[in-house]
Amino acid sequence: MKRFFEKFVESALLISGSITSITILLIIIFLFKEASGLFTTPVIEEGYELALNKTNPVKHLTSYEIKEIFDGKISNWNEVGGKNEAIELVRLSDLTKYYTEAELGSNFENIPAKSSELTSKHPGIILFLPTSYIKKDFNGTLLKHETLHPGDFFGGKEWYPTASPSPQYGLLPLLLGTLWVSLGAILLSLPFGISVAVYLAEIASMRVRNILKPVIELLAGIPSVVYGFFGLVVIVPFLQKLFQLPVGETALAGSVVLGIMALPTIITVAEDAMRTVPRAMKEASLALGATHWQTIYKVIIPYSKSGITSAAVLGIGRAIGETMAVLMVTGNAAVIPHTLLEPVRTIPATIAAELGETAAGGGHYQALFMLGVILFVITMIISISIEFIGKKKYSN
Amino acid sequence: MKANNKSENNTNINSPSGVRGSESIDRSKRRSQAIAFTIFKLMSYSVVAILFVILGFIIIRGIGVISWDFLTKAPEEGMTKGGIFPAIVGTLCLVAGSSIFSFPIGIMSGIYMNEYAGGSKLATFIRIMTNNLSGVPSVVFGLFGMALFVNTMKFGDSILAGSLTLGLLSLPLVIRTTEESLKAIENSYREGSLALGATKLQTIRKVVLPMAFPNIITGLILSIGRVSGETAPILFTVAAYFLPKLPTSIFNQVMALPYHLYVISTSGTNVETSRGIAYGTALVLIVIVLMVNLLANGLRNYFSKKVKTN
Amino acid sequence: MTNTRNIETNTNLSSPLGARGSLDVRGLTIDAKNVDFYYSEFHALKNINFEVSKNEVVALIGPSGCGKSTFLRLLNRMNDLIPGTRMTGSVLIDGEDIYAPNIHVDELRKEVGMVFQKPNPFPKSIFENVAYGLRVNGIKDKTFIEERVIESIKSAALWDEVKDKLNKSAFALSGGQQQRLCIARALAISPKVVLMDEPASALDPISTAKIEDLIHELKKDYTIIIVTHNMQQASRVSDKTAYFYLGELIEFDKTTTIFTNPKEHSTQNYVTGRFG
């Protein structure tokens, strides 16, 4: 009975022990499941058609080309591989420019016939209208319902999920925004973090350490939304004045806030690394007449290099995944940034800001889950590389 | 320059012998040390300054807002007036819900890792997975919680879904705390117990766990602090924009403090007029964090004294 | 000892090793045959044969890393706790193979008590420390526990020093007192054999003398195996001495023989302090 109980408890503990692994597995399954539909969603909004004149050699438009055409940025067919012919953009509402209301019928019953006629008469036309208005003997080419190409996502330069007729799910602006903000943050916090770590591990007296350690613990404990709020009411206006900016919500504001938030991680990991330096090694250096400072930068810092690298990588990982603070201070413009003084939008902020507005299962929803997949993969790579950095230290 | 004392001794050791280096080299060595140490010191104190600026700012701006009504009333007039009571209650619900889930499982997992799995391959694998899980961004937990608990398991936006999501998020912290607390217990105590004919489980229950308890409890309290401030995981699993009614079941939505702060400072009906409430909410969040830290440290001290004197 | 025997028959604290008393026809308490032991690849013990009779005190001596502690820990299967270890051969205690599959280690360890190098009392009261072994072995009778605890503390020559503070934390005791408390703790469950792994190495000379006196007393009731680095201690306390070197049992004989007239050259070198 006693032994059975021991076995029973041990299995219960084993099951609990495996829960993190199961969670990781479930996260992978569910993120991929929800995101998987993205590359099978049609490029054109569902329930709509794009029609061209039959003589138009263009049979295929990418999502980005469609968007550029409807934005008026592409105005000639030769830009998308067709003849030298001006593009004539016609939406359902534009039909009234070509036909009177009487011609379209009081209940718009003539729209199918008229749109067919219009398409056949105008060689440069691109007509966008609901599928229900397309009749069987439609005189024109209907663009095939293509699905979103992975290249459109991973290489896409625009994130505009509510664009009509072709939503843009380009990863690049978000990815670059995330990287800019995170790198900015780490550049700001690394020198601080390492200095504090050296100070704590080597220089500070016990009394000072006892003050600094709780301060760092507290910094780590402040919720990210409070950091975001502080950034919003203090750092953003400050930067706006300092650099004479039209808006203060910029990548730099995000970097400053994230830099502060990454400090505790960097300090703790780097300090722990410096504390593992064998006493004998330190004493050997001091005994040769090196000053304490020479010992620090010639012995202690080189010895704890892998720990300091882990600290930096971990800090970047925290910064990349941080959501609320960034969402509140970076301005959230989904454009590829050129300087740190422009508004940017990061991957986590995009998910947080947009998921609430999307319909489950739609293209936008799937795109946001795909962003989640990317975020997950990035953080996995970071976690595993830290594991690797740690291993390397021991094998040396 | 207290810090220099130690190292000056070291330099002085070889100076009198005059065997190597000249006075000037020694002096420049000392000067560069003084400069470097000053820089480190300044940088460290500026970190303290940052904390005090943040805390000070929010306390000064928020203290005037705090009142009994603020803490016990629901928001009014488009969240520009009234209090934050429903958000406080919501956050308490979420903290309780996630703790019920993550504490037992996390502690058991930590016990398994340290006492049973030891250095085996399985333990290494689980440890890597736990580390990985702790690196997963909170917004990904939000996505996951929405996909699994809200949509697939059909809990809807509810305390249950939010608590489970937050519970998973805090698991790695609980596991690691438990593991480290157990690791700190010297093996001789385990051997002492086993040598008296105690079984492994008896040894864990009667010797190891009681000794590790102070540190475990400290870790658990800190994880409560973390959970109460998380926003991203609850965005799509439980948090309500405005819901003055208090929850009556675990399938209700609730307001939560961090989400409330986010909403009223960015997308409320009138960001400027609700600024005061935002400061007040931020102050309440900060006070929670401060209290949690104080409590954790206090308990740690109390228990470590108690164990010694018994 | 009569007292102890009484208690044993009155309670559940019965021998797990089958029948009471010795199964061994030759009356050996410990009988190790052809024991080999490995830490993964390292061959730590080589073909050890070792016999001990009831109520003997045996000292295990030898330089660091010779395998004496490893051998000691084999006798209550403490080495089971170290992953990657392997053992061949057999160890019989009272005629029963303690490595047989039907033996439960926890019950074995009840029979073979152990005292460690560093005193390791639990963070409990003095009383609870001694009562621990009884409680984990399922004894609930309060008066019995109390009697047994007092008796054990007396046997460990600690009673006069702690009788007024049984409910105080064991950590409040001095190192030597803590070690005697650990001995009392081991005695409380009435083991047949008491293993001591350098029990006095962390103690001052006065505490060491007390422990040595105690060993003399305990010899009447228990079989004791003691690992020690201290030649004088070995010669003072033990009836027999086993000299280990590089994982082999070089010589095992009466203590007087080992210290005055050893057969092996290596033993002589060690006991006269020429190395180690």
Pairing of strands C193-197, C223-227: parallel
Is the Cβ of B50 closer than 8 Å to some Cβ of chain A? yes
> Is residue C66 included in any domain, yes or no?
yes
> Is residue A376 included in any domain, yes or no?
yes
Q: Could you give the CA distance from residue A158 to residue A170 in angstroms, rounded to a whole number?
A: 5
* pLDDT recorded at residue B268: 56
> Is residue A153 included in any domain, yes or no?
no
Residue B307 confidence class, pLDDT cut points 50, 70, 90: low
Every domain of chain B and the residues it spans: 68-309
> Is residue A82 included in any domain, yes or no?
yes
Residue A137 confidence class, pLDDT cut points 50, 70, 90: confident
Question: Per the CB < 8 Å rule, is B39 touching A195?
Answer: yes
Q: What is the pLDDT of residues A111-128, one digit of tens each?
A: 888 888 888 888 888 888
Which of B1, B2, B10, B31 is the best residue to mutate to test the A interface, defined by the most A CB atoms within 10 Å of its own CB?
B10
Q: What is the pLDDT of residues B4-58, one digit of tens each?
A: 444 444 444 444 445 555 677 778 888 888 899 999 999 999 999 999 999 999 9
Give the residue from A303, A267, A268 showing the smallest Cα distance to A282. Answer: A303
Q: What is the mean pLDDT of residues B116-139?
A: 87
Q: Give the percent of chain C with pLDDT over 70.
A: 89
Whether the bond between B233 and the residue before it is cis, its omega within 30 degrees of 0, is no
Residue A292: its chain B contacts at CB < 8 A?
4, 6-7, 10, 33
Q: What is the pLDDT of residues A53-90, one digit of tens each?
A: 888 888 778 778 888 888 878 888 888 878 888 888 88
CA angle B140, B143, B149 (to 5 degrees): 125
* pLDDT recorded at residue C12: 43
pLDDT in tens, chain C (276 residues): 334 433 443 344 444 444 444 455 566 789 999 999 999 889 999 999 999 998 899 999 999 889 999 999 999 998 888 888 899 999 999 888 999 988 888 888 988 999 999 899 998 899 999 999 999 888 889 999 999 999 999 988 899 999 999 999 898 899 889 999 999 999 998 898 999 999 988 888 888 898 899 999 888 889 999 999 888 899 999 999 999 999 999 999 999 999 998 998 889 888 887 654
Indicate if A198 and A142 belong to the same structural domain: no
φ, ψ (nearest 5 deg) of residue A271: -65, -45
Q: Give the percent of chain B with pLDDT over 70.
A: 89
* pLDDT recorded at residue B8: 45
What is the total count of domains within chain A?
2
Indicate if A211 and A316 belong to the same structural domain: yes
> Is residue C276 included in any domain, yes or no?
no
Q: What is the pLDDT of residues A156-203, one digit of tens each?
A: 888 888 877 788 888 999 999 999 999 999 999 999 999 999 999 988
Question: Per the CB < 8 Å rule, is B196 touching C136?
Answer: yes
Mean of the per-residue pLDDT values for chain C?
Answer: 86
Q: Could you give the CA distance from residue C93 to residue A103 in angstroms, rounded to a whole number?
A: 110
Is the Cβ of B275 closer than 8 Å to some Cβ of chain A? yes
* pLDDT recorded at residue A88: 83
Indicate if A135 and A177 belong to the same structural domain: no
Q: What is the pLDDT of residues B58-115, one digit of tens each?
A: 999 999 888 888 888 888 777 777 888 999 999 999 999 999 999 999 999 999 999 9
CATH number at residue A356: 1.10.3720.10
Residue B308 confidence class, pLDDT cut points 50, 70, 90: low
From B13, B44, B105, residue closest to A289, measured CB to CB: B13
Residue B37: its chain A contacts at CB < 8 A?
203, 293
* pLDDT recorded at residue B11: 45
Question: Per the CB < 8 Å rule, is B307 touching C123?
Answer: yes
Indicate if A86 and A193 belong to the same structural domain: no
CA angle A247, A251, A256 (to 5 degrees): 105
Residue B290: its chain A contacts at CB < 8 A?
218
What is the total count of domains within chain C?
1
Q: Half-sphere exposure of residue A254, counting CA atoms within 13 Å on the CB side? A: 35
Helix (H) or strand (E) holding C242: strand C240-245
Q: What is the pLDDT of residues B275-297, one digit of tens each?
A: 888 999 999 999 998 899 889 88
Residue C114: its chain B contacts at CB < 8 A?
191, 195
Q: Could you give the CA distance from residue A162 to residue A169 in angstroms, rounded to a whole number?
A: 10
> Is residue A20 included in any domain, yes or no?
no
Residue C105: its chain B contacts at CB < 8 A?
194
> Is residue A3 included in any domain, yes or no?
no
Here the tokens at position C146 are 């109390």
Indicate if A309 and A237 belong to the same structural domain: yes
Indicate if A205 and A343 belong to the same structural domain: yes
Q: Could you give the CA distance from residue B126 to residue B116 in angstroms, rounded to a whole number?
A: 12
> Is residue A336 included in any domain, yes or no?
yes
Q: Could you give the CA distance from residue B143 to residue A352 in angstroms, rounded to a whole number?
A: 9
pTM for this one? 0.84
Q: What ipTM is given for this predicted complex?
A: 0.87
Q: Judge whether residue B117 has pLDDT over 50.
A: yes
Q: Give the percent of chain A with pLDDT over 70.
A: 98
CATH number at residue A75: 3.40.190.10
Indicate if A180 and A276 belong to the same structural domain: yes
User: Hey, what amino acid is at B276?
Assistant: G
* pLDDT recorded at residue A210: 86
Here the tokens at position B159 are 């305390």
Q: What is the mean pLDDT of residues A131-160?
A: 81
Q: Judge whether residue A216 has pLDDT over 60.
A: yes
Question: Per the CB < 8 Å rule, is B143 touching A203?
Answer: no
Indicate if A372 and A338 belong to the same structural domain: yes
Q: Is B18 helix (H, G, I), strand (E, B) or coil?
A: coil
CATH topology of domain B68-309: MetI-like fold (1.10.3720)
Q: What is the pLDDT of residues C14-46, one digit of tens each?
A: 444 444 444 555 667 899 999 999 998 899 999
Indicate if A137 and A217 belong to the same structural domain: no
CA nearest to B304 within chain C: C123
Answer with the one of A146, A162, A196 that is the final residue of a domain: A146
Q: Domain range spanning residue A325? A: 172-395
> Is residue A298 included in any domain, yes or no?
yes
Q: Could you give the CA distance from residue B81 to residue B65 in angstroms, rounded to a whole number?
A: 11
Q: Domain range spanning residue C83? A: 2-271
Q: Judge whether residue A274 has pLDDT over 50.
A: yes
